[in-house]
Structure 1
């Protein structure tokens, strides 16, 4: 039987600014990439999401990013490697505090936004993020794009790299994500995305924007939590996978 993890970015509200429906998505996903306060999220938001993830048995991951609240972490920042290592350590530690209070723990690390995309190719920053995770807890798995410099650097650092795919993002023929600045970068056709995810998991293939078929092997599938209709999209994806006899389960094991 095929097995896949479903992850989503959660905890991205800040103060009076609300983004996404964390509660509803926690009923669908198996892993929660929780913002750590640098690109989004505040202490109260982190506390609430960790509590509710723990209640539902959803695995918590640290969603680390650039220090960029105004840009939601979607702008590249040329951070010195040692500073980036410290920034990532800070974020993991902050989220770990709330996870532990909730009776669970941080079980993996996933970079966010511009940092995620930068370390697909950026050697120094990829190594800096890997170094932060290695120093904090070398047993933590790390999520990233298949074939990325980030996953290679993580493996070289003795970490466990986990490849992920994206349910509702368009792919290039090189198996990278189409920039959000380009039209059609985010997909909104619920039925089309659900069918695409079944093919991705069962056949390890996705159709790129130019029509070519791209091989993508992944252990986790990301459904975005900040897109319009995110809950309906995630629900449809999970239902389609289960109808196709795909087991949906966290890649990082028990959250406790």
Structure 2
């Protein structure tokens, strides 16, 4: 049992990524493990029924709800860069955020934070115009919402400049390049599958603020949240191993929004 005064770390995962009759990941099982749920808003995955189901379950489990906003790319699962005009991107993000928050409120919850998904997440690390577009949408909707993103990203810098709360996150099951960015999917070292290795990386991020890059160099990643992807094989077991390891290290797992 973790001591009540122990340092807190958030554990998040992507949920609600099914669409229609298609299911991806075990949302119900993950909601028993994570403290924050990044819920797909319909642009890369998800639909109204899925959004409502996940929000209802998240509220019941005491898990914070985050809007996982994306490019308009269902066919590519949001993992393809889209050279969209900033004004259009801001409107798309606003649309997704408002839709999920409306569903969440109907389920006696609310959206507490925003996290880009996939290619948009990677783009706003260095794409200034798109980073500002995401921040513009969040600010216009609710300037009290927290923005979750990669440490050192232009997204988090733009959010701070706009007066938005920010939280940096680390990825326990993703490979890092020496510059602190994520290794692109499809490249060697992009994914970490071994539960023991994933758990060790999560603890190191949370307690030491570092992670070992694919070239074995240490990278600074001071984070307030750790992500385990919900669509990878064995995601639930990975998440459980991470939570157990974090608690064994003396950390209290809980949402950064609470």
Q: What's the TM-score bracket when you normalise by the shorter of the two chains?
A: over 0.9
Partner of 1:105 in structure 2? Answer: 110
- Structure 1 unaligned spans of 5+: none
- Whole-Å separation in 2 of the counterparts to 1:64 and 1:215: 26
- Matching residue of 1:140: 145
* Alignment match of 1:204 (pick from 196, 200, 209): 209
Secondary structure of 2:43's counterpart equals: coil
1:236 counterpart residue number: 241
- Equivalent position of 1:59 in the other structure: 64
In structure 2, the gaps of 5 or more residues are 1-5
* 2: CA distance, partners of 1:195 / 1:128: 35
Match of 2:14?
A: 9
CA RMSD of aligned residues (A): 0.7
Alignment of 1:94-133 (within 5 A): 94-133=99-138
Per mean C-alpha deviation after superposition, the further-off stretch among 183-192 and 129-138 is 183-192
The equivalent residue for 1:27 is: 32
| 1:226 aligns to 2:231 (yes or no) | yes
Contact 1:120 1:145 in 2 (8 A): yes
**1:42 aligns with one of 26, 36, 47:** 47
Instruction: Work out whether residues 206 and 216 of structure 1, in 8 Å CA contact, stay in contact via their aligned partners in 2.
Output: yes
Spell out, residue by residue over 1:35-88, the C-alpha distance to the aligned partner (whole angstroms, 9 max, x if none): 000000011100100000011010000000000000000000011111001000
Name 1:216's counterpart in structure 2. Answer: 221
The corresponding residue for 2:86 is 81
Task: Tell me the equivalent position of 2:181.
Answer: 176
SS at match of 1:158: coil
**Partners of 1:161 and 1:201 in 2: CA distance:** 16
User: What is residue 159 of structure 1 aligned with on the other side?
Assistant: 164
1:251 corresponds, among 230, 235, 256, to 256
TM-superposed CA distance for 1:185, in Å, is: 0.4
Q: Which TM-score applies when normalising by structure 1? A: 0.98
2:3 aligns with none
C-alpha displacement of 1:122:
0.2
Distance in 2 (alpha carbons) for counterparts of 1:124 and 1:156: 14
Contact 1:8 1:223 in 2 (8 A): yes
Maintained 8 Å contact 1:6/1:249: yes
Q: SS at the partner of 2:24?
A: coil
Distance of 2:252 and 2:161 partners within structure 1: 30
How far apart are residue 156 of structure 1 and its match? 1.1
Q: TM-score, normalised by structure 2?
A: 0.97
Where 2:53 maps in the other structure, the secondary structure is: helix
